[in-house]
């Protein structure tokens, strides 16, 4: 390249977005406030949201510089699947509000990196669309539903699509009040109000892409709408989703689902033991992104005790607050077998469009590998040996 070409040429993706934090800043600039606030916000005073990130600082590593040299190998086997790294995109609802076709872009990014990806029941792409990209590496997240016939139909669809790993989310027993969403009048589809139109008009790229793709909807669930009765999306969700999840309900899922079953959203040692007793293949330690209870502990708080309680007989996964590969290393060191993340992937699509997830996952791979190299650890399963306890 000539001198002038170097001087005035475009910046590389790495220069523009060297971190997940830089992607989040761009996502805020490129999306309407109602979309960004939905994805980035928590509940209450958002103290739990802040703790999800700040608590990582409690975990320090002691580097071993006189260790034998060796290449870092991130390859991991989780739930019977060999994957390229011990982390993956987790299920997040309504990512299509952040950027059109976000679930498909995230799925393609995961596939490019040899990783699975979660898909929410309330995603804006259907499980059939995403399974066409990921095959058996699609991990479908089921929200327990009031109508068992709908649950059974969704499970049959997932099985027919080649699904192997079912994530059953149990940490949303009922509706919440989130101040940001109330202030913005968040609804699906977005409400027809001048403030909504103004926010969209102030983000022209988002508006143009949304017009091309269409107003986001919960595509896995739309076939269950009472179209003859003029049912709205909000009333569909109210009719279909919700309720607590006693062990008997989880046992029913265990009987219905022939593949791997993971219980998502546990913080209690007692709940983890119950999941183990009913035959779950794994659990996900999570406070649901600090979106349900502002006073809930963080995964950092409870992960070591849960790992000790269930031993090595089931997969212990975790999510919440991840922004760097160092964060992933910290979770693995505290006993997690695998790490999921939601917001970073949504931010990556909003910042860069279809290229975002590939770039974000590459950043996290490099950061995790670099962290392990600095510590002197070549195997993610050995990170716990390097925690500094002074």
- Both structure tokens of 187: 């609804």
**Left (φ > 0), alpha (ψ -120 to 50) or beta: where does 165 sit?**
beta
* Residue 161: Cβ within 10 Å count: 19
Q: Of 292, 368, 364, which Cα lies nearest the Cα of 90?
A: 364
Q: Of 290, 286, 294, 218, which Cα lies nearest the Cα of 40?
A: 290
Give the Cα separation of 354 and 365 in Å (integer).
Answer: 19
DSSP class of residue 123 equals -
- Both structure tokens of 247: 């062990």
Give CA separation, 131 vs 66, 147, 220, 276, 378, in Å.
46, 24, 12, 28, 33
Q: How many residues does the chain have?
A: 390
According to DSSP, the β-strands at 87-89 and 117-120 are unpaired
* Residue 274: Cβ within 10 Å count: 17
Look at the block and give the residue holding tokens 């979770």: 331
Please tell me whether the peptide bond between 57 and the residue prior to it is cis, using omega within 30 degrees of 0: no
Mark whether 113 is an active-site residue: no
Query: Known catalytic residues?
Result: 288
């Amino acid at each position: 390249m000539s001198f002038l070409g170097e001087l005035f040429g475009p910046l590389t993706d790495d220069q523009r977005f060297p971190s997940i934090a830089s992607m989040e800043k761009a996502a805020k600039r490129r999306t309407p406030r109602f979309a960004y606030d939905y994805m980035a916000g928590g509940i209450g005073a958002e103290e739990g949201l802040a703790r999800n990130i700040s608590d990582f600082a409690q975990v320090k590593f002691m580097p071993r510089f006189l260790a034998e040299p060796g290449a870092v190998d991130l390859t991991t086997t989780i739930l019977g699947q060999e994957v390229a790294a011990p982390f993956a995109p987790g299920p997040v609802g309504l990512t299509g509000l952040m950027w059109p076709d976000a679930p498909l872009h995230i799925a393609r990014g995961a596939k490019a990196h040899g990783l699975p990806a979660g898909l929410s029941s309330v995603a804006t792409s259907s499980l059939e669309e995403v399974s066409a990209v990921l095959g058996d590496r699609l991990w479908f997240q089921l929200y327990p539903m009031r109508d068992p016939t709908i649950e059974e139909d969704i499970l049959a669809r997932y099985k027919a699509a080649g699904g192997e790993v079912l994530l059953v989310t149990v940490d949303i027993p009922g509706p919440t009040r989130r101040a940001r969403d109330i202030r913005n009048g968040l609804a699906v589809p977005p409400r027809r109000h001048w403030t909504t139109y103004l926010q969209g008009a102030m983000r022209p790229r988002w508006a143009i892409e949304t017009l091309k793709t269409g107003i986001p909807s919960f595509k896995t669930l739309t076939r269950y709408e009472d179209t003859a009765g003029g049912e709205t999306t909000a009333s569909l969700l109210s009719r279909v989703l919700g309720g607590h999840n006693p062990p008997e309900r989880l046992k029913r899922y265990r009987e219905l689902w022939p593949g791997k079953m993971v219980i998502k959203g546990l913080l209690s040692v007692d709940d983890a033991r119950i999941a183990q007793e009913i035959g779950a293949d794994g659990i996900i330690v999570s406070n649901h992104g600090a979106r349900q209870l502002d006073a809930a502990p963080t995964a950092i708080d409870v992960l070591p005790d849960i790992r000790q309680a269930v031993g090595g007989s089931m997969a212990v996964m975790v999510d919440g607050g991840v922004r760097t590969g160092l964060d992933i290393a910290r979770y693995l060191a505290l006993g997690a077998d695998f790490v999921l993340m939601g917001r970073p992937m949504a931010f990556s699509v909003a910042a860069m469009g279809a290229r975002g997830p590939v770039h974000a996952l590459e950043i996290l791979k490099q950061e995790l590998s670099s962290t392990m190299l600095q510590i002197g650890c070549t195997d993610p399963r050995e990170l716990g040996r390097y925690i500094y306890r002074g």
